Amino acid sequence: MKGAEALRMALEALRVNRLRSALTMFGVVIGVSAVVVLVAIGTGAKEAIEGEIAGLGSNIILVVPGQVGLGAAPTQSRLDLGDVAFVRRVVGDPGKVTVAVNSGESVRVGRNEVFATITGTDENLPNIFERPLRRGRYLSATDVDTRRRVAVLGSEVADKLFGDVDPIGRQATIAGVRFRVVGLYEPVGATFGVARDQEVHIPVTTAQRLVGLSRINGIAVGASGPDEIEPLRQRVLQGLSGRYPGERFSAVTQTQLLGTIGSVLGMLTGVLAAIAGISLLVGGVGVSNIMLVSVRERTREIGLRKALGARGGDVLRQFLIEAVLLTTIGGVLGILLGVGGSLLIEALSPVPAAITWWSIALAFGVSAAVGVFFGVAPARRAAALDPVIALRAE
């Protein structure tokens, strides 16, 4: 019997039992589409976060007191502006070191009021972070030195407070203190769920007075190239440890963040894919089950085919192809559904979804393999039937 013939026969058998075939496929469709969608979401999340980290700027080292790790909150800061000056000396290039003092405050313009992240920083911020301006200017050294009450607004804050009005040169009240808007950032999106467009930057000195603190939250250092990151990190850490013996500081690089987040999200994607894979497996068991029923039902047909000259191999092939067709047709439908679902999620929800070719190829390959794996037992049973007994079956 030729392969094309076996395929035709199998298609015919599936067509005859249309509803049953469709329901059996359904399990595989669900499993495969779940794999495609969940892998797309996992990959999408990973790509989005990695994009955010890369979008911060390049070669950045973040220095914070205490120990950072995912899930560990930074300990109470003991760093102050003196330490920033110290790090500047350690780094050697003062322009590549900037600082952050963070606080959440309400910002008001006339009747409009928003709650924003107020970040006290300095003139070096744009040297290290990717933070393009739309209008006006960045904070200057003079702003910091003279503790000016000036602010650079994130795009969302500006939109909410000023609407269509150009905010440059206008007044805004932050925590009850009047500031003058000198700059407006381009929208940059969020990083780690931190909406950077909802930030307001003011001079670090002004910020410390505003919130009544002499401490800072962190220091950011920009390395001159990728190869410089690690030595610089070591120098800064060693310097700070020498200055404060017995205390811990952390210096996290983007590469580390990318690595950590990448592996966590990769694991998450794997877990999601495995869960989806289980449903695919269940679909495969369904195929096996239905094929066994089908073999039983068609015992007489099998006996007849053998009586007419079908070899065991012919019968085996016929039923195996039926099983594989069930799962691969289900697989293709599942891929279509999964791709469609991913695109829909991407379009209609904030969840990012990136369709990957490997997940599609894998889903298809696995569904075909599931067909072979779960089809073999029923097909062998069919092939082994004794024609005389099979013909007598009811």
Return d(Cα 292, Cα 93) in angstroms, integer.
75
Q: Which two tokens stand for residue 21?
A: 């075939």
CB of 388 to another protein, least distance (A): 5
160 binds another protein (CB under 8 A): no
Q: 199 or 301, CB closer to another protein?
A: 301
Instruction: Say which residues have a Cβ less than 8 Å from residue 261's Cβ, sequence separation at least 6.
Output: 46, 49, 50, 53
Classified as helix, coil or strand, 62 is strand
CB of 287 to another protein, least distance (A): 21
2 binds another protein (CB under 8 A): yes
Read off the amino acid at residue 261: I
Tell me the torsion sign for CA atoms 247, 253, 257, 260: negative
CB of 23 to another protein, least distance (A): 19
Q: 273 or 383, CB closer to another protein?
A: 383
Residue from 73, 308, 347, 348 binding another protein (CB under 8 A) = 308
CB of 322 to another protein, least distance (A): 15
Read off the amino acid at residue 202: I
Give, as one character, the DSSP assignment of residue 69. Answer: B
* Segment contacting another protein by CB under 8 A, of 1-9, 179-187, 282-290, 324-332: 1-9
136 binds another protein (CB under 8 A): no
Site string for another protein, 275-304 (x = CB under 8 A): -------------------------xx-xx
Longest dimension (CA), the chain: 103
Q: Nearest to residue 78, comparing CAs of 229, 273, 317, 244?
A: 244
143 binds another protein (CB under 8 A): no
**Are the CB atoms for 295 and 319 separated by under 8 Å?**
yes
Residue from 307, 343, 344, 361 binding another protein (CB under 8 A) = 307
Q: Give, to the nearest 10 degrees, the angle between helix 18-55 and helix 3-16.
A: 100
Q: Which two tokens stand for residue 249?
A: 């500081």
CB of 324 to another protein, least distance (A): 20
Q: CB-hemisphere CA count at 13 Å for 204?
A: 22
61: β partners: 221, 253
* Segment contacting another protein by CB under 8 A, of 110-118, 169-177, 305-313, 362-370: 305-313
**Are the CB atoms for 73 and 246 separated by under 8 Å?**
no
11 binds another protein (CB under 8 A): no
Q: How many residues bind another protein (CB under 8 A)?
A: 23
309 binds another protein (CB under 8 A): yes
314 binds another protein (CB under 8 A): yes
Q: 233 or 306, CB closer to another protein?
A: 306
Helix H or strand E encompassing 389? helix 387-392
10 binds another protein (CB under 8 A): no
- Residue ranges binding another protein (CB under 8 A): 1-2, 5, 9, 16, 300-301, 303-314, 386-388, 391
